Structure formats: C-alpha cells, structure tokens
Structure 1
C-alpha cells in the first residue's frame, strides 16, 4: 500500500515522509513562519503543514464553561483561555498561506494544510494544495470528511482517541466520497504526550487492519518515540516545530527546535538503512571476509605418519582454514597419512 503526493511515493519500501507542523508557533509573525520553513528545510524535513481556520470558523466567542480550556496537563499558555481566545492567537492568517506555500515550494518542499471547515477546503483548493490533513479531533466530523474526500486528493488523517469502529467509519466515508489514497497516523491527543501512553504497536496494526499507509503524529517531547515508530514501520512522521521553545508560541512547549528536528531526520534515515530486509548469511563482502575467524580443526602437535588423531593433537581453534568442526568425531581414531607439523590446518588429504 502506497500513496503519492506530487512526485513523492509514501509507504513501505519508500523513505519516511517527515512533516514539520508549524501550527501557531509563528506567534502571528509572517517572517517567523518563513524562518520556521527555512529551518525545517535545512533540517531535512520533506513537508510543511499549516492549519487553516479562524477562531470563528472553528468555534464561537463564548465564555460559558464548555468553551473554556481547563488546567490538568494542558500547556500553561492554554489554561484558562476560552477556545475563541486560544484560536485567535493560534490561527495562521489565510492571506499568508499562499505566500508560505511558494516559500516552501521554492525550497523543494511540499506544503499542505489541515482544513477545519468547508470554507477552508474551498480556500485550499484555490491554493492547489497537493494533499490534505485531517486533525485527530475532526476525524469523526463526517461532513468535513466528505468535503475533503470529494477533492480526490491524498488524505493523511490522525486518529487521536478514535476507536477502531470510528476509524473504520472515517475511512469508509472518505473512500465512498472519492478518496483513493489514505494514510492514517497513530496519535495521542495529549500535549505533550507521555511515552508510556504511546502504544506504538498500533502503527503496524493500523496498516494491516485498515489497508492504509500508517505513521505517527507525535506530541511527545524529544525524538526517541518518533524514531522508534519508524523501526515499527511508520511511513510518515509528523512533529511540531519551532525556532525556540522559550519564545512563547502557543505550541512551543512540545515542539522540536531546528537542531532537534535535524537530529530526528538523521536518526530516521539511519534507521531506514538499518532496517533493510530479512536476510541470512553474510550481510556484505566485508562481513564475508570475517568468516576467516571462525573455528576449524587444526593439528596442534607434531605427528608422525600412521599416528592416531586424538583430542590431544587435534583441536577446534580459530582461524577457519581447517576442516569444519562438525568432522571432529569422525577424525578422532583415524591415522595421519603423512608427517604433520603443529599448526597445520587439517584436511582430508592428511587423513589416512
């Protein structure tokens, strides 16, 4: 199972597709958003992801309890805010987005976005994005899924807290409405998520159970979990990125800085090379040369013609120039065909 975004093929057997999510870490500064894109490119990321909404398209301006963000383990900047206040600070101005797309594409990167309502899908269609992302909280919004699917473009969907039945319904809805290429990202909707909550074995299960490309949208701190996900078969990795975690961005606290993103990309590429395929025997000509240091049968004491081979004058030692050690019992009790010096690798022409 593979999907293709532009010229990039994504799936088992292809390089991991690494997405840098800007979210609200631009702090309402266009130039900062541009710098994040450039830093992500320098780090080796393949794609940039935006979010396309306004506070008014994603919620309403209400101070009632259901609209207020609680404390718990939420980032400090979120706590006590209404949803409208939070999204007013976090949204990416729509007039920036075509310009940011050009910046990314000029660097050879793919830029796409997560739409949060039908007007955002219409806007992104005018931008001619190559694919769409579905956020974890929107994967049960069937109206939105239908709207996105009808574009017939590749879709990457985060599953968040969705149950198996909800995932099945979402995928069916997408397919029934025109989506032919679907990837599903395992995701824990906590900010930050804890490693012990991740259950990364869900990644290969998603691929096998639903017949989709699978990957990880990772909200843990650091890079270790994402690297482990690739070892388990993730074809896509998405991480939030920022220039500086201390800069006060809405998602800065659980985002990677440029040096960390670069380390992630490097580690993922090493893991890809190391995974290879199921293989037995020497892995390379260099390793094949090391066979010389296996054990084999050697004469370890001077012997006269007709003298019997015993455990005293024949031993299994390194290197591998003599007969394989499996012939030891067969050799013992036979006689030397000629005089043999100590240190001679045993061969059948020496056995009488």
Structure 2
C-alpha cells in the first residue's frame, strides 16, 4: 500500500494530519472578488488547500435543448446542462489571478480539469496537483493525460464500482502518475449520511493500495470527522461564504465557521487515534495517587497478626496494591502501625511479594 503522497510539500497519509480541501466549485457566483474572499476565508479556517474547477460549458456538454440534456429533478431542475455549466463555471481568465491570490495567501490551490485543454491551462499556472471529479472517473483518456504531467492526482469515486475504480487507477498509473489518492464519494447533492457506508474506506485502502480519503456532500461535519477514525487521509468539502447565497452549490456547502470546525475536529480525531498503547499516559501521572490501595483501619502493634478487618482497599494510592489483600491477611507486623496509614511492605514480617 502507498503510505503517503505530497502536494506542494505537504505529506498526506495515515501518519499525517488529515488534508482538508475546501472546494470552491461555483460558489464564487460569478464574482472574482468573491472567489478571492473564499480563498482568504479557507486559509483563515485552517484548510490545507482550495480547489476550483476548470471547464467551460462547451468543454463539458453540447448546447442542446433535447431531452437528454434537460435536468428534470434535484437542485438544478429546469435547466439544460449547458445552462447550468454556463452559470457555474469559473472563467478561464480568472485562473491566474486566483492562483496568484492563493499563493499570496499561502494556501495551496489546484483544480479539477474536465478536458485536456483545461490540463494545459493549469500546467501553464504550475498547478501542484490534479483532481479528477467523480463524473469524469470513467474518462480514462483524461486521467491518462493529467497523469502524464507527473503531478500528484486525486480521483473521486462517486458512482464508480470496483471495476471502474480499478480502471481509473490503472489509467493514472499507465499515464505516469506516481502519487495517487482516491476519495470515497457519494455523488448526491446533498447526500444523506446513511449512503456513505464509511466502512468502505478501509476496504478501498486495502483493495487498491493507495492513499484514501473522503469527498463529503452531507450537510454537516459528522460524516467527515468520523471518516478520519476509519482511515481517511484527505477530506474534501464544498465551501462558501454564505449557504443562502443562491448559487449552484451554496446550499450544500460549508460556511466559514463550519469549515473551521471541520479542520479543528478532524485533526483532533487524528491525534486521538494514536497507536496501540496500554501504558500510563502523561496526563494520568498526577492522578495515580488517587487510585485505590491498602490502608490500615486500626492501630496495631509490632508482632500482631493482621486480621481481615484491620485493612481495607480505599483511596488514595500510597499503600500497596489491593491485589495483595489476601496475602496480607494473616501476616505478622514488624512494627507498630496507626489507623489511616498506608500498608507498606516494610510493615510486614514476611514479604507478600514472595507469596503472590
């Protein structure tokens, strides 16, 4: 299994904090200023990267009103595909100022190309990685073309079955990609949490041997945060300044406070996962003294035999461990002891350790 990839110097894998991608998509709503503001807010929230989409309506579909090209349900009901992509696309002449702005803000920016001309544009901008969208995961020629750049690649797997995922991975490898990640994804907008079947993440990592993450289209952060505990090394969520902004993707996107919470909480989960460790933790050291131990509950003299009613297991923990109680009962004292004093090995004429 591939343990890690790197994008713009940031290591991504199970041994590193989850890589958080804020997907701008169409949430600029036709404003370059809004696009730059989204970049700034993603950085402020703690995201590792901002991702955009590089297409025009003509690179995605045909300008047709025929039934095949009509959207008849869902968020975009009543539009044609061409109209939707005309509304949602990021103009190509915005790309350079957006890349420049992201670099000034010190946040990684890359894109999903939807055809070879988009890859060419992004190469001119020195994009550090490529993301293949779920709907394009079956476009093996596009995957090979992007892979030939030698850049790291992320492939979303929404709607793809095992064979199709395998074919996409093979195309990426054949094209020259050496750093590859795949994202478990449900291509519903929004998607219900129960559709995600997060246990699939571990199987994907084992089955395909690549870094694995989650592209999450649910309306909150619960699914994404939970995915970290199941091995997600990357998380992608749509991001907007205002969920009520009226754009194509606003309604199922995170707002700044939610993105900040995702960045914080997913990294907390990753830290909490740690490793298998039964040892005493640093935060517990100060509380060891409050564990139970054995204490005398009567005044006794040297030479007395310790009866069962003379000792108890109580807090604090300055005496010997309660597991020695049976061995202590019936032993003889070497010295006087007072009630409420801890039972110590030196109090006893015979070491109970040799009897344990």
TM-score by length of 1: 0.95
1:299 corresponding residue in structure 2: 296
Query: Once superposed, which parts of structure 1, at least 4 consecutive aligned residues long, lie more than 6 Å away?
Result: none
Please list, as runs of the form range in 1=range in 2, the aligned pairs for 1:198-237 lying within 5 A after superposition.
Answer: 198-237=196-235
* Among 309, 316, 320, the residue aligned to 1:319: 316
Looking at structure 2, the residues matched to 35 and 344 of structure 1 have their Cα atoms a distance apart, in angstroms, of 67
Report the alpha carbon displacement of residue 326 of structure 1 after superposing the two structures with TM: 1.6
- In structure 1, which of residues 276, 279, 282 is the aligned counterpart of residue 280 of structure 2? 282
1:130-279 correspondence to structure 2 within 5 Å: 130-279=128-277
Which deviates the most, 335-344 or 79-88? 335-344
Unaligned 5+ segments in structure 1 are: none
2 CA distance for matches of 1:224 and 1:314?
50
Per the alignment, in what secondary structure is the counterpart of residue 309 of structure 2?
Answer: coil
CA–CA separation in structure 2 for the residues paired with 1:155 and 1:266: 25
Question: In the alignment, what sits opposite 1:20?
Answer: 22
Residue 347 (1) aligns with residue 349 (2): no
- d(CA) in 1 for partners of 2:127, 2:225: 28
Match of 1:39 in 2: 41
Alpha-carbon offset, residue 143 of structure 1: 1.1
Distance 1:346 1:112 in 2: 66
Note the C-alpha offset of 1:336: 2.2
Paired residue secondary structure (1:227): helix
- Give the SS at the match of 2:276: coil
Instruction: Describe the SS at the equivalent of 2:59.
Output: helix
Task: Provide the aligned length of Structure 1 versus Structure 2.
Answer: 347
Q: Which residue of 2 aligns with 1:117?
A: 115
2:308 aligned counterpart, secondary structure: coil
1:62 aligns with 2:64: yes
Task: Tell me the secondary structure at the aligned position of residue 60 of structure 1.
Answer: coil
The gaps in structure 2 that reach 5 residues or longer are 350-356
Shift of 1:15: 2.1
Deviations 1:38-63 (A, max 9, x none): 11111111111111111111000111
User: Could you give the per-residue CA deviations for residues 189-236 of structure 1, whole angstroms, max 9, x where no partner exists?
Assistant: 000010111111222222222111111111100112111112222111
1:334 match: 331
> Is the deviation greater in 140-149 or in 182-191?
140-149
Instruction: Quote the Cα distance in structure 1 between the aligned partners of 2:294 and 2:191.
Output: 58
Deviations 1:70-122 (A, max 9, x none): 21xx22xx011110111110011000011100100111111111111111111
SS at match of 1:3: strand
